[in-house]
Amino acid sequence: MKRLREILHRIDHRGYKAYQDLERQRFQFPGFELVVDHIQGDPFAAPSRFHVRVLQEVAAFPPQSFSNRSREVALRDFLVRAFAREARYVSERRGSGKSGQLFVDAPGQEILERSACQVNKDYVELRFFVGLPAAGRRILGGEAEGMLVQVLPVIVEAALYFRNLDHKALWGHLEASEDADALRASLETLGLVAFVADDSVLPRRSGVDDRPLAQAVLFRSPERLRVTVEASNRGAVTGMGIPQGVTLIVGGGFHGKSTLLRALERGVYNHVPGDGRELAVADPTAFKVRAEDGRSVVGVDISPFIDRLPGGVETRWFTTENASGSTSQAANIAEALEAESRLLLVDEDTSATNFMIRDRRMQALVEKRHEPITPFVDQVRRLYQDYGVSTMLVMGGSGDYFDVADTVIAMVEYVPQEVAEEARAIAQKYPTDRVSEGGDHFGPIPERIPLSESLDPRKGRREVHLKARGTRSLLFGRDEIDLSHVEQIVEDGQVKAIGCAMAYARQRYMDGGTPLREILGRVQRDVQQEGLDGISPITYPPDLVGFRAQELAAAVNRLRTLRVKPTKYE
């Protein structure tokens, strides 16, 4: 600490680049070590990167707080939140540009793996950003000393010492995450694809505020779907279990259909206590599928849904720079299957109508030989029968899906009712007389091999140039990837991590012979074993957040420079 003061006094009022004297330095404080990983070039550049390390003999976190993977991830998430909160309390603007900022990226409602914090039996480490103070481009050494010597120790002691934390909140955080992981892991054994506990709060405050809606209707399971499952900490939990197969969510407008589906989209992640969705879980591979006009598609087999396009366009190896609603939705499903999703989530509001249904009257007017689209209603059942892939659909406008559904949930003023028997009776009473299209089987799910030369993360002198623009897009080298319709990306840090994973996969696994499916699995395995640090091009990354294979695949598939080659069908 004394040496840090001496350096800051020496460089006070010098040009900003004199801050470089701090880079790669280590400074001992009472109770922790401060390490300077990277110094920003000027006060308007991306902030500098620091980390602190507190030995466990000081931090004193009980071994049971990180005794398994679920608890370790939740503990790291909790400590990042604590550090972010304390930093907000005491940080202030100190000069030009980003001067005076001391922060980590604030987490949302999900409990996720975060590179910002590491915990093991030896130490606790927290990585963060610092906007080093300056007036113009002149160093404000006294202000920097105030931040690093006076303010930072207060934050560290409040956020990273076990004795100073809210123990009830900490254990509640860990146990909520562990319970959700246990429930999600038990779904397949129970023959379910999703579970929503009674008294869950599913509605959100608004489209830009993901916190629970105050005075919302509490979730209550319909009797026909009520199950009791065992959670690791809460014990027996009762709620709605959604079986494998084809599930419809029906009901009038504004009665909660899409709210339920959105809760299950996010059910692939754990949630903080008080969120309302702590025990609303879905199959970990569940993927939201929608139409996405204008996206690029490269070498995807969409023939189970679209074949014999005018002009002889090949749909077993479909490539376009500007997909339509129907072709994009078909491609999104094919890509989800390639990424080994076992549950597809579909909302008619974000689907292409002609992709979802073709009723009897339209079949009579436009003969099948003139219609290249096989609607989803005719393939959704085959997808489950042939591959065990379940589908959950929000459907308010077509009763034709009654004929193919296993489970039908009607939402009435946010209260679910199971009405499959009623739906089947209606289907028998009012037959549609439509002809099923598309054959007896779904067809093969081919694999593609991505070519490494088509993924170029370089820009200028940088071997890897990545930039997340919120959750909506990723700048990968010189190319921008539109992720605005990949709805299960919830934090900027996931986009940053996905960019790192793409560059990592290109260098390590894209050898011209390995299928994308296998590459995704290898990257996920490496992250499990080595953490997010293992895929980062920099040391001590402070801002990477855990992601799934499905979102990584979505980013690769939306890269407009992507080129692939096929593998043979089995």
Each residue's pLDDT tens digit, 379-432: 999 999 999 999 999 999 899 999 999 999 999 999 999 999 999 999 999 999
Extract the tokens encoding 97: 């540009």
Q: Does 172 score more than 90 pLDDT?
A: yes
Nearest to 135 by CA among 143, 127, 146: 143
Taking only the tens place, the pLDDT of each residue in 215-244 is 999 999 999 999 999 999 999 999 999 999
Verify that 144 and 234 share a domain, yes or no.
no
What is the rounded CA–CA span in Å between residue 74 and residue 459? Answer: 36
What is the rounded CA–CA span in Å between residue 505 and residue 498? Answer: 10
Based on the structure, what is the number of domains in the chain? 3
Beta bridge partners of 548: none
Verify that 393 and 515 share a domain, yes or no.
no
Domain end (from 392, 411, 444): 444
Extract the tokens encoding 390: 């379940």
CA atoms within 13 A on the CB side of 40: 21
What is the rounded CA–CA span in Å between residue 326 and residue 334? Answer: 12
Task: Please give the average per-residue pLDDT across 128-132, as a whole number.
Answer: 95
Task: For helices 549-557 and 492-508, give the axis angle rounded to 10 degrees.
Answer: 70
Q: Is residue 177 part of a domain?
A: no
Tell me the residue type at 442: F
Task: Report pLDDT for 570.
Answer: 41
Return the DSSP state at 381.
H
Verify that 454 and 406 share a domain, yes or no.
no
Q: Is residue 483 part of a domain?
A: yes
Q: Is residue 170 part of a domain?
A: no
**Pairing between strand 48-55 and 280-282?**
unpaired
Verify that 454 and 434 share a domain, yes or no.
no
Verify that 375 and 456 share a domain, yes or no.
no
Tell me if 102 sits within 8 A of 151, measured CB to CB. Answer: yes
Q: Is residue 175 part of a domain?
A: no
Band of residue 569 on the pLDDT scale cut at 50, 70, 90: very low
Task: Report pLDDT for 93.
Answer: 56
Tell me if 284 sits within 8 A of 194, measured CB to CB. Answer: no
Tell me if 323 sits within 8 A of 297, measured CB to CB. Answer: yes
Taking only the tens place, the pLDDT of each residue in 43-89 is 888 999 999 999 999 999 999 999 999 999 999 999 999 999 999 88
What is the rounded CA–CA span in Å between residue 403 and residue 399? Answer: 8
Band of residue 92 on the pLDDT scale cut at 50, 70, 90: low
Verify that 303 and 261 share a domain, yes or no.
yes
Q: Does 94 score more than 80 pLDDT?
A: no
Q: Cα 510 to chain center, whole Å?
A: 23
E-assigned strands of 369-460? 390-394, 407-412, 415-418, 448-450
What is the rounded CA–CA span in Å between residue 570 and residue 552? Answer: 25
**Pairing between strand 390-394 and 246-251?**
parallel
Verify that 254 and 360 share a domain, yes or no.
yes
Per the rule left: phi > 0, alpha: psi between -120 and 50, beta: everything else, 228 is: beta
Q: Which domain holds residue 230?
A: 183-444
Place of tokens 């350096």: 7
What is the rounded CA–CA span in Å between residue 177 and residue 232? Answer: 10
Buried b (16+ CB within 10 A) or exposed e, 291-324: bbeebbbbbbbbbbbbbeeeeeeebebbbbeebb
What is the rounded CA–CA span in Å between residue 63 and residue 43? Answer: 41
Q: Does 190 score more than 90 pLDDT?
A: yes
What is the rounded CA–CA span in Å between residue 526 and residue 516? Answer: 15
Q: Is residue 11 part of a domain?
A: yes
* Alpha helix stretches (DSSP H) within 509-567: 516-530, 549-557
What is the rounded CA–CA span in Å between residue 493 and residue 117? Answer: 13
Verify that 392 and 251 share a domain, yes or no.
yes
Q: Does 448 score more than 80 pLDDT?
A: yes
Return the DSSP state at 114.
B
How many degrees, rounded to 5, is the angle at CA 364 between CA 360 and CA 367?
115
Domain end (from 376, 411, 444): 444
Q: Cα 461 to chain center, whole Å?
A: 31
What is the rounded CA–CA span in Å between residue 220 and residue 464? Answer: 49
Verify that 373 and 460 share a domain, yes or no.
no
Task: Please give the average per-residue pLDDT across 476-489, as a whole number.
Answer: 97
Q: Does 97 score more than 60 pLDDT?
A: no
Tell me if 391 sits within 8 A of 344, measured CB to CB. Answer: yes
Q: Is residue 178 part of a domain?
A: no
Verify that 464 and 493 share a domain, yes or no.
yes
Task: Report pLDDT for 96.
Answer: 54
Q: Does 300 score more than 60 pLDDT?
A: yes
Verify that 308 and 360 share a domain, yes or no.
yes
Q: Is residue 192 part of a domain?
A: yes
Q: How many CB atoms lie within 10 A of CB 525?
A: 10
Taking only the tens place, the pLDDT of each residue in 330-347 is 999 999 999 999 999 999
Q: Is residue 171 part of a domain?
A: no
Q: Does 5 score more than 70 pLDDT?
A: yes
Question: Residue 331 maps to which CATH number?
Answer: 3.40.50
Domain end (from 444, 466, 500): 444
C-alpha distance from residue 240 to each of 215, 272, 279, 280, 418 (Å): 21, 21, 11, 9, 10
Place of tokens 């308007």: 44
Q: Where does residue 344 rank: exposed (0-12), middle (13-18), buried (19+ CB within 10 A)?
A: buried
Non-local CB neighbours of 505 within 8 Å, separated by 6+ positions:
519, 522, 523, 552
Q: State percent of the chain over pLDDT 70.
A: 98
Extract the tokens encoding 288: 């939201």
What is the rounded CA–CA span in Å between residue 147 and residue 427? Answer: 69
Tell me if 453 sits within 8 A of 563, measured CB to CB. Answer: yes
What are the φ/ψ torsions at residue 110 (nearest 5 degrees)? -95, 145
Q: State percent of the chain over pLDDT 90.
A: 92
Secondary element (H or E) of residue 53? strand 48-55
Extract the tokens encoding 47: 């902030």
Secondary element (H or E) of residue 243? strand 235-243
Verify that 132 and 249 share a domain, yes or no.
no
